[in-house]
Amino acid sequence: MKIARKYGESISPEMIGLFFEDINFAADGGLYAEMIENRSFEAREGFGTPGKFYAVDDYGYAWKPVCGEGEQAPRMQYVTGTPLSTVNPHYLRLTAYASGQGFANQAYDGIYLKQGMKYHVSFYARCVEFGGEAFTVEVKKDGKVYAEGSVQAVKPVPYGPFTDLTVEFPMADGPFAEIMNEAKNADAEKCCREHEWIKYELVLTASETVAGAEFILSLDAAGVVEFDLISMIPEDAVAGVFRKDLFEALKDIKPGFIRFPGGCIVEGISLENRYQWKNTVGDLKDRKYIPNLWAFQDDRSLRKDLDVKRPDAHYGQSYGIGFYEYFLLCELLGAKPLPVLGMGAACQFRTTEMVPIDSEEFKEFVQDALDLIEFANGPADSRWGGLRAKMGHPEPFGLEMLAIGNEQWETKYLDIFARHVRFEQAVHEVYPEIRLLGTAGPSVENGLYDLAWDFYRKGQKENPGFVYAVDEHYYVSPKWMYDHIEFYDSYPREVGVFAGEYAAHTEDKENTMESALAEAAFMTGLEKNAGVIKLASYAPLFNRIGHSQWKPDMIWFDDHQVYLTPNYYVQKLYGNHVGDHTLQLDGQDVELRKSGIYVTVSETKDGELILKAVNTNDSAFELPMEGEDGQPMTGEARVWVLETAGEKPADKPEPSRVTEQTLELKGSISLAPKSFTVVRI
């Protein structure tokens, strides 16, 4: 292969990015470091299939009573009345009949503690009738305590009419004298008003490592106490929000952008269930909990086991990771934010529900886009910029891009083209600098896809700011990817492409070297056509083992371990080795494909060459390399090689590894069997 400094197309530094959707417990129970499940007592159980779904209130899900020293179990009621927040109105009213009684949380797959690690616990409580002195928090398994701590209970001052006065009112005798004197003598630091919620905080330290333990909160005496918003987060959580090992896995990719929050959850299984960004910002207690769209994938109506509950039917969204945290995540990772907003329609795969384009409701969707830009970029004295500042980030987040719609397509009832026009006009009237992205639907191989491209290309000719890139999705076989390396060779360059969701799906839909090599090969075509491919992201991102609604996925994990797939390493190698422009190979890449070798070459602004090569053969392949002078290439080279690392376990992705070495190049590079190699010269 002859490598000449014959420049091809410029490569966007933000090209390789991430797509985050809250599926497979990606947020709650995943990247969000919160360990308590159903912490605010708002859980619901999802039933039904698309078009025929409903939710049943199950506020006590994930919680159970703890008897302590009593023979009678404590009473747990999930009530409303005077809530911590009217947005999430339910709370737990606990009636304990003996010392040591309380309640426990299952914490997804159980609490995992790491020896020596500290864990920050907080909760809100209100003493109704409690004669004890303290609340105790324990992490316990099989009778053994692995971490514990206590906090002193704050008691309410008894209330009577005419006693809550701001001026002195002498009353030596009378029916209220005793109450008034008690109130005056109360220790202000140890008491509160009767309706008041008190926030308690403590730190637990793990004495030993344990998995599958329970979180227990108990009372030191009988009584009635109300609880809400119970939290436990490890001290190493990044920014106090993100699970560290999962965050580090994302950071290692060096993503250029993050697309969020979806995916189908953007539209919701219904408009009521859609993702509304304004409900995800502000104080945690005021973020409205909703069932996750992926909790409704229930096909029991087609089976006989109607009484068997699906394990993830309670999958919810607490919005502990909301739009503020998404922007913060982008900032921490050095990635550009790419929010996706709905265009007034619920998920088209599931329903025809929508709001009319000329309705007041549709105007709210457009206003949400304008307000989001203000939230991200507005000054601290603006309404939404002020909220961002109040949350701890007075500086703008620097939003540059915004996607309108996810996998929508034009139909007789849904006019997505007219809706894009409305959004474009409204956004660019106020924010002409924002790059807008459109959607080409769920597939690249049907007439709806072609119809969408005709619309966007025509709009771009009439208005250069009409659309920056069009979002394309394809979940396809490895063979399709190999057969379509040249897919973008003939695309017009006026409108960019966003390969927003893609993955190679084997027959068993698992993460394997087979699928990873197909993706790496296909991505040589993406990089070669960097003049039109502006952004690209694999999908989905996360999968909590035992809680899968979709496979394959880039990163698998459980309560304490991360399993990086071969597909992850492909994305990492591409993200870590981005050139500034491609080098033309004048058909050599096409010729090499006949031998099962897929290559692309780029150059950095410092003149460093980057070769990416996929060997799909069962044997090694010696790839000759010469410079533009026709002489064999020599010198020091750094080489990264992705290979399989053993047999695939039944419940985990195929093991793989990346080896790195520095070697002296002597006119060729050896490509290992079934491998993906990156060479920097």
pLDDT digits (tens, 9 = 90+) for 586-632: 999 999 999 999 999 999 999 999 999 999 999 999 999 999 999 99
Question: What torsion, rounded to 10 degrees, do the Cα atoms 24, 25, 27, 29 define?
Answer: -160
Q: Mean pLDDT for the chain? A: 93
CA distances (Å), origin 412, targets 359, 409, 462, 569? 18, 10, 25, 43
In DSSP terms, which residues pair with 103 in a beta bridge? 65, 217
- Position 181 pLDDT exceeds 60: no
Closest residue by Cα to residue 526 from 556, 495, 488: 488
CB 420 within 8 A of CB 452: no
Rounded mean pLDDT of 259-281? 96
Specify whether 608 is catalytic: no
Rounded CA separation 395/264 (Å): 31
At 160, is the pLDDT very low, low, confident or very high (cuts 50, 70, 90)? low
Rounded mean pLDDT of 312-341? 97
Q: 10 Å Cβ neighbour count for 432?
A: 8
- The percent of residues above 90 in pLDDT, for the chain, comes to 88
Q: What is the reported pLDDT for 156?
A: 84
At 309, is the pLDDT very low, low, confident or very high (cuts 50, 70, 90)? low
Sign of CA dihedral 188, 193, 194, 198: negative
Q: What is the reported pLDDT for 544?
A: 97
At 176, is the pLDDT very low, low, confident or very high (cuts 50, 70, 90)? low
> What are 547's two structure tokens?
């809680």
Q: Return the SS3 of 415.
A: coil
Q: What is the reported pLDDT for 178?
A: 60
Q: Which residue among 21, 407, 501, 603 is the active-site one?
A: 407
- Position 177 pLDDT exceeds 70: no
Q: What is the reported pLDDT for 303?
A: 47
- Position 310 pLDDT exceeds 80: no
For residue 222, report the phi and psi dihedrals to the nearest 5 degrees. Answer: -65, 155
Closest residue by Cα to residue 64 from 55, 54, 72, 74: 74
Where do runs of H (alpha helix) occur along 230-305? Answer: 244-253
Q: Is 336 exposed, middle or buried (0-12, 13-18, 19+ CB in 10 A)?
A: buried
The pLDDT tens digits of the residues spanning 191-250 come to 777 789 999 999 999 999 999 999 999 999 999 999 999 999 999 999 999 999 999 999
Q: What is the reported pLDDT for 157?
A: 78
Q: 10 Å Cβ neighbour count for 612?
A: 24
Rounded mean pLDDT of 419-441? 97
Closest residue by Cα to residue 420 from 470, 480, 485: 470
Rounded mean pLDDT of 138-157? 95
Rounded CA separation 403/440 (Å): 12
Rounded mean pLDDT of 566-572? 98
CA 416 to chain centre: 26
Rounded CA separation 439/329 (Å): 24
- Position 275 pLDDT exceeds 80: yes
Rounded mean pLDDT of 280-294? 97
The pLDDT tens digits of the residues spanning 102-132 come to 999 999 999 999 999 999 999 999 999 999 9
Rounded CA separation 472/656 (Å): 29
Rounded mean pLDDT of 141-159? 92
What is the maximum span of the chain, computed from C-alpha positions, in angstroms?
A: 109
- The percent of residues above 70 in pLDDT, for the chain, comes to 93
Q: What is the pTM of this model?
A: 0.94
CB 478 within 8 A of CB 504: yes
> What are 539's two structure tokens?
């999908």
By residue count, the chain amounts to: 681
Q: 10 Å Cβ neighbour count for 98?
A: 15
For residue 27, report the phi and psi dihedrals to the nearest 5 degrees. Answer: -100, -85
- Position 286 pLDDT exceeds 90: yes
